[in-house]
Amino acid sequence: IREINTEAALLSGEVQRAIAWPGVLEAMAGVQREQFVGKADQAAAYCNAPLAIGHGQTISQPLIVAIMSGALRPQACHRVLEIGTGSGYQAAVLARLVGEVYSVEIVKELAERAGVVLARSGVKNVHVRVGDGHHGWPEAGPFDGIIVTAAADGVPETLVAQLKPGGRLVVPLGRTRQVLAVLTRRDDGSIHREDLLQVRFVPFVEG
Ligand code: SAH
């Protein structure tokens, strides 16, 4: 948490506001990241760096998890959709901030492992499903927030359509140069976009 605060001081006001959102750092402190990584990475789990989780995928750097969580402006009554369950770490952090988390993962083995780890950690409000995140989870929507933890080439319109008015979609956009964007669905249906910072994510693959 100290490292997150030190690094955050170098970032923009909007990013700092995301990290300072009520409950975000407490949620980060409350989740044991080591439970979501392999045996060989136990010591590295508490470094502010991304880690491999198998299948060519990575668990994001804690600073980025904090920024993305806060950028959603989460509230206890919210329902949030995550695309890219991966290790389940981001979902576990969100589970402490919102009412229900729905998470879609395209790699079956990762989804299954995340489900086991989350259950073992006593997390009950995360629902994991195997599938292509491009479709979202229409039966569970509309959502107060959607977080995509893989980089999309363009704005994923199907996901935007599953946001409530006022809902926020946090998504890394771009291929080689990526920015973390926050798209807000206004009451009149139009979309407001704000770019927070440059990031590097694995690609959002076509299912
Ligand atoms: N949020 C994760 C990190 C995810 S890495 C964590 O906290 O550990 C990105 C994840 O997105 C990978 O697990 C990858 O398999 C998944 N992914 C990529 N394309 C996808 C798609 N089309 N639908 C669902 N998941 C996808």
Give tens-digit pLDDT for 159-184.
999 999 999 999 999 998 999 999 99
Instruction: Kindly report the number of other CB atoms within 10 A of residue 98's CB atom.
Output: 22
Q: What is the pTM of this model?
A: 0.96
Dihedrals φ, ψ of 16, to 5°?
-65, -35
Cβ(129)–Cβ(104) below 8 Å: yes
Question: What would the DSSP string read from start to end of the chain?
Answer: -HHHHHHHTTS-HHHHHHHTSTTHHHHHHHS-GGGGS-GGGTTGGGSSS-EEEETTEEEPPHHHHHHHHHHT---TT-EEEEE--TTSHHHHHHHTTSSEEEEEESSHHHHHHHHHHHHHTT--SEEEEES-GGG--GGG--EEEEEE-SBBSS--HHHHTTEEEEEEEEEEE-SSSEEEEEEEE-TTS-EEEEEEEEE---B----
Catalytic-residue membership of 60: yes
Q: What is the pLDDT of residue 7?
A: 80
CA of 188 to the centre of ligand 1 (A): 31
pLDDT for the residue numbered 10:
76
Tell me if 69 CB under 6 Å of ligand 1.
Answer: no
Atom of ligand 1 at shortest distance to CA of 55? 15
Residue 86 CB less than 6 A away from ligand 1: yes
CA distance 130 to 104: 6
Q: Which two tokens stand for residue 115?
A: 């489900």
Dist. CA 205 → ligand 1 center (Å): 9
Which residue among 60, 69, 87, 103 is the active-site one?
A: 60
Residues of the chain with pLDDT under 70: none
* Residues with Cβ within 8 Å of residue 16, at least 6 apart in sequence: 8, 9
Is 137 touching ligand 1 by the criterion CB < 6 Å? Answer: no
Pocket residue to mutate for ligand 1, from 107, 112, 180, most atoms within 8 A of Cβ:
107
Ligand 1: does its nearest atom lie under 6 Å from the Cβ of 87?
yes
144 C-beta closer than 6 A to ligand 1: no
